[in-house]
Copies of this chain bind each other. A is one copy, B any other.
Amino acid sequence: MTCPGFRFAGVAAGIKKKGGLDVGLIAADAPAAAAAVFTGNRVKAAPVVLSAAALRAAKGKLRGVVVNSGNANACTGKAGMADAKAMAAAAAAVMGAKPGQLLVASTGVIGEPLPMDRVGAGIAAAGAALSPGGWDDFARAILTTDKRPKTATCTVRLGRENVTILGCTKGAGMIAPNMATTLTFLVTDANVAPPALARATRAAVAPSYNAIAVDGDTSTNDTLALLASGVTGGAVGGKALAAFTEALTDVCHDLATQLMRDGEGVHHVVTIEVRGAPTERAALTVARRIATSPLVKTAIAGGDPNWGRILCAAGNAGVPFDPTRVALALADVAVVAKGTVAPGYDEARAAAVMREPAYTMTLDLGAGRASARFLACDLSHEYVSINADYRS
């Protein structure tokens, strides 16, 4: 896969203990419009702090991205910030750009200093390997405990031209030994100005990356970035911008869903749909609370249509509703009506739905017209094994 205006590379630099590609580069041939979303955690890794500042200072025009996996450069003090800056400088050198035009991202173990000799050699090697067809290598270089690479692509017609969106993501469901990170990189050849690109990115992230949870924790390194080379077609605005935003949202939803499916110990990905809420925000709050309840997540793991746990979790969301008006369905099986067990409820059918790898749980609060969706997964023995039986 290629995207006009960009070259990519991924190389093995010996940072990951188990080996494999661990340094990646995205290089734009010329300054590209850029937008990014960073972790909301108060404890931000050095590359996140550096990249957010660079994006602001460069007024949304960047030349590329440099990423390493195997070490998160988080909780590493002043030396960590110096290392992140050195990564930006090394990547800028191989691209003929300025250090302030680079976005830096890291993922892997935390609290350990980056092996800068290996990182530096890796960036030099990646610079030499940059090519328009290097996307798959880049997508592999960002992985840590992921079971497989996760990419998505979309072609969308904007006016007279077809533009491409390429995306890749990593994260074993936000959960991994030593804390995983969600990293997502997207490129497009569409001609979108930085302010519009920022709006499109926020709009695409809200119902995708901001509506999934494996465990509810946000890492110190989470980064999603989009570069637009603008080499194809005229300036995107109006209806074309809406179409672009919709396509970008689809790509993000595809990637976020892949991320959930690849989550450690995940056997079921469940769409929690909350309807009949007073506001969309209230619907999302209730859906998130259900999705992160350990009681609901263990019920999903066990395939147990324990509807009391779902109503209980909804009641803990802090959103006002009348419990006697609530309805719940698992796929097309009516489970709860008016706050109690539905007439003719068939538990065997409900249990059969919960044996599926993916299904929808629909809760109608009977308190309005707004709705929202959130992706949940099971809390399984594998989750505990991966995160408890492991010693750092």
Contact = CB atoms under 8 A, between A and B. Distances in A.
Interface size class of A (residues with CB under 8 A): 35 or more
Contact of A319 (B42, B294, B314): B42
A302 interface: yes
Contact of A179 (B41, B220, B308, B351): B308
A220 B312 contact: yes
A141 interface: no
Given A77-B338, A304-B391, A340-B77, A315 B41 contact: yes
Contact of A217 (B75, B295, B379, B391): B295
How many chain copies does the complex carry?
2
A217 B313 contact: yes
Interface string A277-317: 00000000000000001110011011111111101111111
A322 B75 CA distance: 12
Given A313-B217, A391-B302, A392-B306, A44 B323 contact: yes
A218 B76 CA distance: 38
A337 B309 CA distance: 41
A331 to B, nearest CB: 18
A240 to B, nearest CB: 37
Contacts of A387: 294-295, 298-299, 302
Contacts of A314: 42-43
Contact of A323 (B43, B303, B326, B340): B43
A178 interface: yes
Contacts of A385: 381
Contact of A75 (B111, B323, B379, B388): B323
Interface string A74-108: 11110010000000000000000000000000000
Contact of A315 (B220, B295, B341, B351): B220
A116 to B, nearest CB: 17
A159 interface: no
A383 B301 CA distance: 12
A299 B175 CA distance: 12
Nearest to A315: B43
28 contacts: A42-B314, A42-B319, A42-B321, A43-B326, A75-B323, A75-B340, A77-B340, A111-B308, A111-B340, A111-B341, A179-B295, A215-B295, A216-B294, A219-B312, A220-B312, A294-B294, A294-B383, A294-B387, A298-B383, A299-B387, A301-B384, A302-B391, A304-B390, A351-B391, A379-B384, A380-B384, A380-B388, A383-B384
Task: Name the 3 nearest CB pairs between A and B, nearest first.
Answer: A43-B315, A298-B387, A302-B388
